[in-house]
Amino acid sequence: MAQLTVKNLCPGYDGVAVAQDINFELNRGDYLCIVGENGSGKSTLVKTLAGLTKPVSGQIICGDNFELNQIGYLPQQTLMQKDFPASVGEIVLSGCLAASGLKPFYSAAQKKLALSSMERLGIDHMKNRCYRDLSGGQQQRVLLARALCTEGKMLLLDEPATGLDPAATAEMYSIVKDLNEKEKITIIMVSHDIEAAVKYASHILHLGSQLQFFGTREEYVKSPIKMAFRHQEGLAKLVDEPLCSRAAAGRNRRYFK
Amino acid sequence: MIAEYLSYPFVRYAFIAGVLTALCSSLLGVTLVLKRYSFIGDGLSHVAFGAMAIAAVLSVKTELIVVLPVTVLCAILLLKTDANAKIKGDAALAMLSVGSMAFGYLLLNMFSASANVSGDVCSTLFGSTSILTLTKTDVWVCVIMSVLVICVFVCFYNKIFAVTFDENFAKATGVNASAYNLIIAVITAVIIVLAMNLVGALLTSALIIFPALSAMRVFHTFRQVVICSAAVAIISSALGIFISIMLSSPVGATIVVVDLLVFGGFSIAGRALNH
């Protein structure tokens, strides 16, 4: 049985759907990239999968010994976190919290789990360093290590390359790919970077106001929706640009319809 | 000399109540400052002022019966981080704050039986010297509440950290974030009502934010900041009460000035350490 099946899902707020009838199915070890223009409902879909908002309609079905709250979630960074006084160790350990229920302190096993996920991402040597003193790429690794402390079966990444420079972005993608290939962790990633999506993902979900696509990477490359993206004049440049430049150019942001 | 002063029961009571209140405020202060709720102390103490006016007009003997529930209710309303709220964060806080202030003053002016309305108002706002006139019962109430607040804080320390640092992540992993936000709101309200006795409605914020801000200048992990902030609160409140007895200056204002000086010292130390 599939690890995650999404059937006719309409994510939205206050009963108003922002995207219609999303359908996809993921097995263990799949790597799904969710792409689409601004306002197509990518972020809302992620929030729905993370259990932060209730879907307007539709179903999310889990299987293969997987529960939705075992998802390792990497949210977008908030402004508040940038000057938060906390050590790397404290933050990663907080990923184990859900498992401790009402117990006031962390168990030795949980501390070991936190340490091992720091080791997996090569940040165990900065355990005692302050989060706000780290570079953007290092901060994302810390949050990824925290996400691994939940069951480590599936990771949900919400635009993990936001605000990273090209080198850090490439590193982030390769870490995620490694986790996917070596440890068979299922990946769901929202991205604006179609080139990277096509390069790393095994499946693509393309959300759009009129068109929607779900399938393997190979099918996607040949599909008309990707073609439409490529052949629009000047559009390729727009969608392939890394996110950081999109944020900088917010004033002149253009939408593809 | 300190021993001589401490032989008076009213001085001992003031020290116990003052230090415990400052300690509790500083613990919660770290979370509130980081959550960008520094002004909640101000807002809620104005609400408590309004509630106190109602209690005075109704001539309720133990004001706490009216003040505490009203303040807790407002704290829950304010801290319930509802993304869909019609009036958001700071605006809601400002509205509630000035609204209840005006309401309270109006009530006191129109219906108060007391001969010295402006004196009453002034002492509620600035704490006056009421800390030196605490009864044994007042001190016991303060001790029990403080112990309760400290226990809750210690037991939920890890949860409070997680909810403060990243509420969405906590929620996604199945942590009941709204319940912990509720706990934070309730103990914030309790602390503010306690602190009002000490420094008055206008200066309550100082007890909450200054120790946390001072600690953040120098320390870089959450645990260090919490511990340092508690230590700063204990030392500066004890020092403040002592100085105010020596110079017969207003207690609340003196504690706040000491806090301010400590903050200055920590800022300089922090800058020196980081270079």
Residue A237 binned pLDDT confidence (cut-offs 50, 70, 90) = very low
CA distances from A248 to A78, A136, A140 (A): 17, 16, 20
Q: How far is A73 from chain B (nearest CA, A)?
A: 6
In terms of domains, do A166 and A208 share one?
yes
Read off the pLDDT band of A252 (50, 70, 90). very low
Residue of B166, B174, B221 lying closest to A85 (CB–CB): B221
CB pairs under 8 A between A and B: 91
Range in A91-95, B57-61, B129-133, B227-231 with the lowest mean pLDDT = B129-133
Residue A189 included in any domain:
yes
Give domain status of residue A3, yes or no: yes
Which one has a higher pLDDT value, A66 or B233? B233
Interface mutation vs chain A, best among B37, B165, B169, B214, most A CBs within 10 Å: B169
Residue A39 DSSP class? T
Question: Are A159 and A147 in the same domain?
Answer: no
Measured CA to CA, the distance from residue A47 to residue B168 in angstroms comes to: 9
Residue that finishes a domain, picked among A135, A152, A169: A152
Least Cα distance to B45 among B193, B184, B149, B206 occurs for B193
Say what the pLDDT of residue B237 is. 92
The answer to whether residue A16 is domain-embedded is: yes
- pLDDT of A19 reads 82
- Distance CA(B63)–CA(B51), nearest Å, equals 8
Q: Are residues A129 and A92 in the same domain?
A: yes
Same domain, A148 and A186: no
A52 shares a domain with A164? yes
Supply the CATH number for residue A191's domain. Answer: 3.40.50.300
Residue A127 carries which side chain, given as an amino acid letter? K
Domain total of chain A = 2
% of chain A residues with pLDDT over 70? 86
Confidence of residue A244 (pLDDT cuts 50, 70, 90): very low
Query: Residue A7's domain spans which residues?
Result: 1-66+153-257
What is the Cα–Cα distance from B186 to B79, expressed in whole angstroms? 9
pLDDT on residue A102: 78
Whole-number pLDDT of residue A221: 75
Report the mean per-residue pLDDT for chain A: 80
- Domain assignment present for residue A77? The answer is no
pLDDT at residue B136 tops 70 = yes
Interface mutation target, options B164, B166, B176, B217, chain A, most CBs of A under 10 Å = B166
The mean per-residue pLDDT over the stretch A60-65 comes to 82
Listed range (A165-169, A205-209, B27-31) with the worst mean pLDDT: A205-209
pLDDT given at position B245: 85
pLDDT tops 90 at residue B147: yes
| pLDDT top residue among A37 and A247 | A37
Residues A113 and A174 in one domain: no
Q: Does residue B256 carry a pLDDT above 80?
A: yes
CA–CA dist B188, B79 (Å, integer) = 10
Give mean pLDDT, residues A160-187: 88
A50: nearest CB among B161, B172, B224: B172
Per the structure, the count of domains in chain B is 1
User: Which one is predicted more confidently, B66 or B134?
Assistant: B66
**Closest by alpha carbon to B26, among B247, B198, B177, B159?**
B198
Distance from CA of A87 to the nearest CA of B (A): 5
**Which residues in chain B have their CB less than 8 angstroms from residue A90's CB?**
161, 221-223
Q: Is residue A221 part of a domain?
A: yes
The residue assigned the tokens 């907080």 is A94
- Return the higher-pLDDT residue of B273 and B222: B222
Mutation for testing the B interface, residue in A81, A94, A139 having most B CBs under 10 Å: A94
Boundaries of domain holding B7 = 2-274
CATH code of residue B267: 1.10.3470.10
Taking CA atoms, what residue in B is nearest to A72? B173
Q: Based on the domain organization, do A89 and A17 belong to the same domain?
A: no
pLDDT at residue number A239: 44
Instruction: Quickly state the pLDDT bin for B86 (edges 50, 70, 90).
Output: low
Assess whether A45 and A114 both reside in one domain: no
Nearest CA in chain B to A77: B166
Round the average pLDDT of chain B to a whole number and report it: 85
The two three-digit tokens of residue B261, written as one number: 């000086």
Of A13, A84, A128, the CB nearest to B165: A84
pLDDT of A247 reads: 37
Confidence class of residue A87 from pLDDT cuts 50, 70 and 90? very high
User: Cβ contacts (< 8 Å) between B217 and chain A: which residues?
Assistant: none
pLDDT at position B226 is 95
Percent of chain B past pLDDT 70, that is, above it, reads 91
If asked whether residues A158 and A245 sit together in one domain, one would say: yes
The residues on A that touch B, with CB distances below 8 Å, are 13-14, 50-52, 69, 71, 73, 75, 78, 80-81, 84-87, 90-91, 93-95, 97-98, 100, 104-106, 128, 130, 132-133, 143, 146-147, 150, 156
pLDDT band at A250 (very low <50, low <70, confident <90, very high): very low
Instruction: Check whether residue A113 and residue A159 sit in a common domain.
Output: no
Confidence of residue B127 (pLDDT cuts 50, 70, 90): low
Is residue A235 over pLDDT 50? no
Same domain, A110 and A157: no
pTM of this prediction?
0.84
Asked whether residue A147 falls in the same domain as residue A169, the answer is: no
Percent of chain B with pLDDT over 90: 32
Contact call for B169 and A106, based on CB within 8 A: no
pLDDT at B113: 65
| Minimum Cα–Cα distance from A88: chain B residue | B221
pLDDT score, position A104 = 84
Q: What is the pLDDT of residue B138?
A: 81
pLDDT of residue A194: 79
End-to-end Cα, chain A, rounded Å: 37
Average pLDDT in the A120-142 region? 89
pLDDT tens per residue across span B191-246: 888 888 777 777 888 899 999 999 999 998 999 999 999 999 999 999 998 898 88
Give the one of A13, A85, A95 whose C-beta lies nearest to B225's C-beta.
A85
- With cut-offs at 50, 70 and 90, classify the pLDDT of residue A226: low
- Neighbour tally for A24: CB within 10 Å: 21
Residue A17 falls inside a structural domain: yes
Nearest CA in chain B to A50: B172
* DSSP-assigned states of every residue in B19-80: HHHHHHHHHHHHHHHHTT-TTHHHHHHHHHHHHHHHHHHTT-SSTHHHHHHHHHHHHHHHHS
